[in-house]
Amino acid sequence: MLTKQIFRSSILTIVVSAVLLTYSTDLSAQTPPLADCSGSLCPGLIDDPVGYQMLMSTAYNSEQDYYLITAMSTYVVGLKLTPSGDPIGGRITLTPSTYVYGNSVTYNPDRNEFLLVWRAEPTEIYGRYLDGDGHPLGNIFRLGTGREPRVQYSTVSKRYLTLWSSFADGVHYRMVSGDSTAAQPLLSGDALILSGVYNGRVAYSSGSDKHLIVFVKEYEGNVIGQEVWGRLVSGTGTPLTGVLGIGVGARNQAGPEVGYSSSNDRFLVTYSDYDSPGQYPDIMANLVESNGAVGARFNTTAGFAGSDVTGPISYNEATSKFVASWFEPFCHSRIPSLSMSRAILLSRSFKRLNSASE
């Protein structure tokens, strides 16, 4: 079941992102997609145009074999899909009707439940348990103040790590009970991973019960720039390392994403890198071991030209490959009404065969 879960999650991550943009492309062609994304041009496309949905998150229920997609509207809505992509039932309203700016959901296989976190207007971060069918379970609880909420579940420590970026002082995290029946869901106070940083992202290592939290740190040299740093935190929320320099260079490195390889207990971090040749950034990556050792960086978008923006990362245990996605803006002259800058979703799966493999 684990192999099926990871493989399916890899595919859905890309499909969900493509739905956001309404089109996708095949990596082998290396050409922009056609304007019309219907029928055979976009097989498996799931389109829900009613209302206004974006900033999706997805989790796979390994016990009941379905995906739960959560999306931003004036509230958070849920949609269940079979492994073949067919909707199960209708929309599920998951939060009150307060304008939502982002959400994240993860699955708890120990209790067949989910935890949903979201940012409500203006800057409040909330959490809520969902049952195995994706419906609200219990009361809403407040986590903190900020933006870009994220959540991961520790199968060893039986608790969730919730993460968000504060508008005031850095990236924060808070531990939440894995038991939805607990009298108090919050297991810790609001902890600061590091002041003066933002764009926090997190991935969980099931092999060593650790979370890698990555973020953007500004620095001042000849000019003000950005770098990607990280820090390891245990499944119980205890910081394990100091700050790790991951995407560090002479010019800006920004927009990090992070994924985890269960086959060899290491993380992959991608980011937009302005140190690359030319005017526009490439997507560079570093492998990070579960002990905090950072490998040499490499280019995941070689052969593509454009202002690359990082997308989600997934891992396929069956092939021991990461699937890294990214976006490239382009101008499509064949759509006069949509001639502004658009974005296409691209992805690449790869297996490194050197000392920093996979």
State which residues form the domain around 148: 48-195
Within 13 Å of residue 186, how many CA atoms lie on the same side as its CB?
Answer: 14
pLDDT in tens, 301-324: 877 666 678 888 888 888 888 888
Does 89 lie in the same domain as 189?
A: yes
Q: Is the dihedral of CA 134, 135, 138, 143 positive or negative?
A: positive
- pLDDT for the residue 100: 82
Q: Which two tokens stand for residue 127?
A: 């959490």
Does 231 lie in the same domain as 333?
A: yes
Find the CATH number of the domain harbouring 321: 2.120.10.10
Tell me which of 96 and 85 has the higher pLDDT.
96
Does 186 lie in the same domain as 236?
A: no
Does 324 lie in the same domain as 223?
A: yes
Reply yes or no on whether the pLDDT at 26 is more than 80. Answer: no
Does 315 lie in the same domain as 258?
A: yes
Examine residue 29 and state whether it is found in any structural domain, yes or no. Answer: no
Q: What does the pLDDT average to over 204-210?
A: 97
Does 127 lie in the same domain as 77?
A: yes
Does 248 lie in the same domain as 126?
A: no
Does 212 lie in the same domain as 184?
A: no
- Which among 195, 222, 239 is the end of a domain? 195
Asked if 51 and 64 touch (Cβ cutoff 8 Å), the reply is no
Residue 40 identity (one-letter amino acid): S
Tell me which of 18 and 251 has the higher pLDDT.
251
Find the CATH number of the domain harbouring 119: 2.120.10.30
In the chain, the number of structural domains is 2
pTM over the 0.85 mark: no
- Which among 172, 195, 218 is the end of a domain? 195
Through-space distance between the first and last CA atoms of the chain, rounded to whole angstroms:
22
Does 188 lie in the same domain as 241?
A: no
Mean pLDDT of the chain: 79
pLDDT in tens, 210-226: 999 999 998 765 455 88
